[in-house]
Structure formats: C-alpha cells, structure tokens
Amino acid sequence: MKKQILFLIILLSVFILFSSYALAEDNIKTILSDYPYISEIERSIISKEIKEAIDLGVDTYDIESLISLAKKRKISPLALKDIVSLINQAAKLHLYPDLLLNKAKEGLLKRVREDLIVEVLKKRLDYLRTSKLIIDSLNGKISPNDKEELTFIIVQNLENGLSEDVVTKLINYSFKKSVSFDTVGKILDDISVLPAVGIDDDAILKLGEFFFKRNVSESGVKEVTDVILLAIKLGISPDKLSDFLKGAYRYRDYISLRNAILRIIREGAKKNKIKKHTPSQALPPPPK
C-alpha cells in the first residue's frame, strides 16, 4: 500500500512538472507572438534560449517578466537573445544566474540602452567567474547560503571599482580572521570609493587589513573613508595619502588613524595659506 501511494505521489509530481513546463512554454509563445520587429527565425532562436534557461532551473516567472519588460521597452530581438544567452551561460556554470537576470531587469526599468545592458551583463558574468575562483581559493567549507552572499559581495565590489587583486587578498585575509560576511561586505563597500579618487591598490589593501585586524565598526570605517575623501577634496595629493595609508597598521585604532589624516589636512592648509600670502616675485624698487 505504501509503495502504491509513493508511486502515485511520484506520478503526480511528474505530471505537475510537465504541466508547469507546458504552461510556461505556452506563456512564452504568447509573449513572443507579438514581440515588436521580430522575424520567425529570431522568434525560434529566442524560444530555444528561453526553454534552455527554464531547463537549467531559471525561475519561469522571472524569465516571463524579463521578456515582458523587454517587450515593453521595445528591446531588439538580438539584444533579448544576448541577454537570455548570458543568463544561460551563468546557469550552466552554476554561477547564480539570478544575479544577471535581476541586473538585466534593473537596466530595463531604468531605461538603460540595450547595448549597455548587454555590456554590463558580460562584465558581471566575468566577475561571477572571478568570484568562483576567489571562493574556491579559500581553505574552508562554506555553506551554499554563505557562498551566494559572498559571491554577491565580490561581484558588487568589483563593479564598484575595487581591483581583483585587492578583493582577492582582502577576502582571504578576512576569512583567516573569521570576519562575518556582513562586515566584509560593509567594509569593502566603504573602501570601494577610494580607487576613483586616486588611492592606489596597495594603500587600499593595507587600509582594509587595518579595519579587519582592529575590528573597526561600520561607523568607524565610514569616518576614516570620509576624512580621506575630505583630504582629497581639500587638495591633499592621492600619492601622499596612499603612502601614508600603507602604514595604517602603526595606529592602535581608527580614531588615531583618523586624527592623523586630519593633521595632514591641517598641515596642507597651513602650507597653502603661506603660499597664498608669499609674493611670487620681489617688488621693484621705488622711483628716486
């Protein structure tokens, strides 16, 4: 009797699965039936890409909403095919295709140009590959949920401007120090603003290690990065700040590091004030 019940349950599950797949297939056909400026060949190619995405486990509802949004924004069939193809590539490599799909939907909602959306997705796929290499290099077991969280942290900060070398070394350093992924994400997010103002990779690496080693709070990290940005704004050269930050380990806490940067700002202001009031050339002698 138990075997019969189990067989019926399996049979019902298979029926539901095939019914859902058939329904999804019908929905896709309906959505694509009046897709703007699409040829029969393009419709056939895109249908195959979409079916492959569903077979690979991409959520059917998300795929349908992506197509509907692309249709509404009048995205070209070629761009739609490229978007779904990139999502499939991520799925085949077990690299969280949702991170591509959601990025594509975000771009469509913001009315970003289709060629830029495709370019961003290509870069994100590369960053996903990089994240896998970084995570695989860690000596330790990571749960599936933690792995997904860490993947997102890595991808996000590579997109924000941190170099692959800095991210790799800081992730490895934080892992050895048993820093929570939440803290890692917040610290990397704060220091990711520094490359854009000219702070070099080695300085960012040493600063990140300082934050992890000294267990600096989120507010402390923000204070230090804010004062670095202030220094740049007030005319302190990025090279000078970079050289200084490479010695961040010498400071016992973030307050002493912050205050040292403030002293650099004050010294810079004094020098600028002296230069401003020093005549550039000697005055001519008075007439006789």
pLDDT exceeds cutoff 70 at 166: yes
Residue 281 φ/ψ, nearest 5 degrees? -150, 160
Same structural domain for residues 164 and 128?
no
Q: Are 228 and 199 in contact (CB under 8 A)?
A: yes
Asked if the structure places residue 23 within a domain, the reply is: no
Q: Please report whether residue 116 resides in a domain.
A: yes
The arithmetic mean of pLDDT across residues 40-48, rounded, is 93
Q: Judge if 244 and 173 occupy the same domain.
A: yes
pTM: 0.81
- Res 2: pLDDT: 56
* Both structure tokens of 126: 């590369």
3 state SS of 30: helix
Asked whether residue 214 falls in the same domain as residue 180, the answer is: yes
Mean per-residue pLDDT of the chain: 87
Indicate whether 266 and 185 sit together in one domain: yes
92, 119, 137 — which closes off a domain? Answer: 137
Instruction: Examine the pLDDT at 214 and tell me if it is beyond 80.
Output: yes
Question: Is 248 found in the same domain as 177?
Answer: yes
Where do we find the tokens 């970084």? 134
Residue 33 has pLDDT above 90, yes or no: no
In a shared domain, residues 124 and 150: no
Examine the domain organization and report whether 114 and 155 are in the same domain. Answer: no
pLDDT digits 0-9 by tens, 138-162: 877 788 888 999 999 999 999 999 9
Please report which residue ranges of 58-113 form alpha helices under DSSP H. Answer: 60-72, 77-92, 98-109
- Give the span between the Cα atoms of 60 and 275, in whole angstroms: 67
Q: What is the model's pLDDT at position 282?
A: 39
Structural domains in the chain (count)? 2
* Percent of the chain scoring above 90 in pLDDT: 75
Q: Is residue 212 part of a domain?
A: yes
Higher pLDDT, 71 or 6: 71
Among candidate residues 118, 137, 156, the one where a domain is terminated: 137
Q: Higher-confidence residue: 101 or 279?
A: 101
Confidence at residue 12, expressed as pLDDT on a 0 to 100 scale? 55
Determine whether 228 is exposed, middle or buried from the number of CB atoms within 10 Å of its CB (0-12, 13-18, 19+).
buried
pLDDT per position as a tens digit, 2-32: 556 655 566 554 444 444 454 456 677 777 8
Q: If you average pLDDT over residues 105-120, what whole number do you get? A: 97
Q: Determine, yes or no, domain membership for 42.
A: yes
Q: Which residues of 44-79 are buried (b: 16+ CB within 10 A; e: fewer)?
A: ebbeebbebbbeeebebebbbebbeebbebebbbeb
Do 198 and 252 have their domain in common? yes
Domain that holds residue 185: 144-276
Instruction: Return the minimum-mean-pLDDT range out of 7-11, 97-101, 166-170.
Output: 7-11
192 domain-assigned? yes
pLDDT digits (tens, 9 = 90+) for 84-95: 999 999 999 999
Interior angle at CA 111, CA 160 and CA 126, nearest 5: 35
According to the model, what pLDDT value does residue 92 have? 96
Q: Are 132 and 155 members of one domain?
A: no
Q: Which of 69, 94, 86, 89 is nearest to 120 (CA)?
A: 86
Domain end among 137, 155, 172: 137
